[in-house]
Amino acid sequence: MFRNVAELVEKAESQGISIAEVMIRQEMEFGELSREAVVARMERNLDVMEQAVDKGLAGVHSLSGLTGGDAVLMQQYIAKGNTLSGPFILDAVSKAVATNEVNAAMGMICATPTAGSAGVVPGTLFAVRETLKPTREQMVNFLFTAGAFGFVIANNASVSGAAGGCQAEVGSATGMAAAALVELAGGTPEQSAHGMAIALKNLLGLVCDPVAGLVEVPCVKRNAMGAAVAMVAADMSLAGIKSRIPADEVIEAMYRIGQGMPSALRETARGGLAATPTGKKLAEQIFGEKQ
Amino acid sequence: MKYNSVFDIIGPIMVGPSSSHTAGAAIIGRLARSVFGREPKRADIHLYGSFAETYRGHATDVAIVGGLLDFDTNDERIPNSLQLAKEAGLIVEFHKEEAVPEHPNTTKIRLEDERGSLEVIGVSIGGGKVEITELNGFKLRLNGMYPAILVLHNDRYGVISGVTNILTHHHVNIGHMEVSRKEKGQMALMVIEVDQNLEDAILDEIRKLDHVTQVTRMSP
């Protein structure tokens, strides 16, 4: 069993296999399952992700009314043809938003690694599907690669906003997506690790400050930005740019920052955006009286 | 290692909006119900830390009650569970606690009916993973991943080997086992994680042992 990114990369390189393959073999061993069973379970997750993206792109709204409809707006904007960031990144953005809008509406999603951060990985995957044209097997492998890096982060730091802030949720998801994008685009395991490190480094310190305690503001737009960062970090790594700080040390830094964060900024809705005048007013409007 | 499977990271498939505050909460509720072994008539749900601060926004209350009604994390009835509990005759009361817990996502659930009561403390550690950390005042660590049997007994010599002998006899492999007691010679609890679901006959055999007071099965 690999315990950190260095071991994960070493396993893949010494055996001449992909990160996804390392993860699949470990899962077979851990669960005493056949390859077919492990792959089939991930295929179900992929199906749920695709359905959530489709549902969000068709337009959903949360009960509170705080979020919804933005995935549609972004698609309409892309269709006009003259965007600043370019259609690929914005497509990932819209699909990440779509997933989180469905989540906020209490629809069905696949936690990746959590529900609040469920948009980043599928957002980037379904966006590059148009350009990289992966087979279904490659799409499933994308999720195993993302999962392998998430596995390391969860075991050495945290993927919980309450424990480590949003850096542990959207930050982890962004690192996972970047690593998987690199592999899907033909990068090496080492390049995946650099992509993960570059992405996560740039979301360190991100606080969890949900307005009214809802997984809506700023969560949905943070997934959008996570998807954009993941795409850029993957491109940087594929260009040969390296993270000066190794991935495992970035994860360790994330853990320590999370521990040092005041509880007001760890999913208690008592600090950050939740504590702004508008944030408080929205909470009162939604729940009738002061919580 | 807190997480052993890639499906702890990519998964669970669930109803939004939060894996720790909705899915994890539902799993804790369902585990409590599973240990209780029958439909409770009353549930007192105490919420601590982040659970206490944000439970309405995350539907943590709704999710725990969904779990108590035996709903899975992807059950689309979860959003309506408070109403469904009422219809099923389950009285639910929430208690928002000020105390600072060891883990920010902590809940204490007390279930009861005319036959008895059960108190469970559960924490949701992120991504839908949970741990039961206390049961009727006994410290333990149970994550609901494997079938388990809980044996409440008097703290006497020979009881533990009596139970393991029965399991040996039926070729049941023990994956993990914890024994704890509140005071020497008083009440004690055995938590035994096994590799397969146990038949009623085996549980009955354990129940008949001297000094065993209660045997409960927990299925993942």
- What's the pLDDT tens digit per position in A6-28? 999 999 999 999 999 999 999 99
- Give pLDDT tens digits for A27-83: 999 988 999 999 999 999 999 999 999 999 999 999 889 999 999 999 999 999 999
Nearest to A23 among B6, B19, B20 (CB): B6
Q: Which of A63, A64, A62 is nearest to A282 (CA)?
A: A64
Of B13, B49, B125, the CB nearest to A110: B13
Percent of chain B surpassing pLDDT 70: 100
pLDDT at position A31, please? 86
Q: How confident is the model at residue A289 (pLDDT cuts 50, 70, 90)?
A: low
pLDDT tens digits along A92-139 = 999 999 999 999 999 999 999 999 999 999 999 999 999 999 999 999
- Hey, are the CB atoms on B57 and A162 less than 8 Å from each other? no
B127/A111 CB distance under 8 A: yes
Q: For residue A159, which residues of chain B lie inside 8 Å, CB to CB?
A: 9, 126-127
CA angle B113, B115, B117 (to 5 degrees): 60
pLDDT of A290 higher than 60: no
Q: What's residue B146's pLDDT?
A: 85
Nearest by CB to A162, from B1, B12, B104: name it.
Answer: B104
Residues of chain B found within 8 Å of residue A287, distances taken between Cβ atoms? 56
Q: What is the pLDDT of residue B186?
A: 86
Mean pLDDT within B124-149? 89
- C-alpha distance from residue B53 to each of A257, B19, B35 (Å): 22, 16, 27
Report the gap between the CA of A104 and the closest CA in chain B (Å).
5
**Type of residue numbered B49:** G
3-state SS assignment for residue B94: strand
What pTM value is reported for the model?
Answer: 0.89
Q: How far is it between the farthest Cα atoms of chain B?
A: 50
Asked if the model's pLDDT at residue A291 lies above 50, the reply is no
Give the H/E segment covering residue B45: strand B42-48
Of the pLDDT bands very low, low, confident and very high (cuts 50, 70, 90), residue B141 is: confident
Binary contact (A269, B53; C-beta < 8 A): yes
Which residues from B are below 8 Å from A118, CB to CB? 16, 19
Q: Give the pLDDT confidence of A190-220 residue by residue, as tens digits.
A: 999 999 999 999 999 999 999 999 999 999 9
pLDDT tens readout for residues B61-112: 999 999 999 999 999 999 999 999 999 999 999 999 999 888 889 999 999 9
Cis-peptide, bond into residue A262, ω within 30° of zero:
no
Alpha helices (H) along chain B: 24-36, 49-58, 60-68, 81-88, 159-169, 200-207
Write the residue in B10, B79, B105 that is nearest to A112 by C-beta. B10
Check: complex ipTM more than 0.90: yes
- For chain B, give percent helix, strand, coil, nearest 5: 30, 35, 35
Nearest CA in chain B to A40: B7
Kindly state the tokens that stand for B158.
Answer: 């020979």
| Of B92 and B35, more confident | B92
**Residues of A with Cβ-Cβ distance to B81 under 8 angstroms:** none
Residues A162-186 have pLDDT tens digits of: 999 999 999 999 999 999 999 999 9
Q: Give me the torsion for CA of B51, B57, B61, B64, rounded to 10°.
A: -80
Contacts with A162 from chain B: Cβ below 8 Å:
20-21, 49-50, 104-105, 126
Distance CA A94, CA A123 (A): 7
Among chain B residues, CA nearest to A282: B57
Q: What is the Cα–Cα distance from A172 to A166, expressed in whole angstroms?
A: 9
For residues B40-66, give the mean pLDDT: 94
Mean pLDDT over B41-70 rounds to 94
* Candidates A8, A55, A109, A167, partner chain B, best to mutate (most B CBs within 10 A): A109
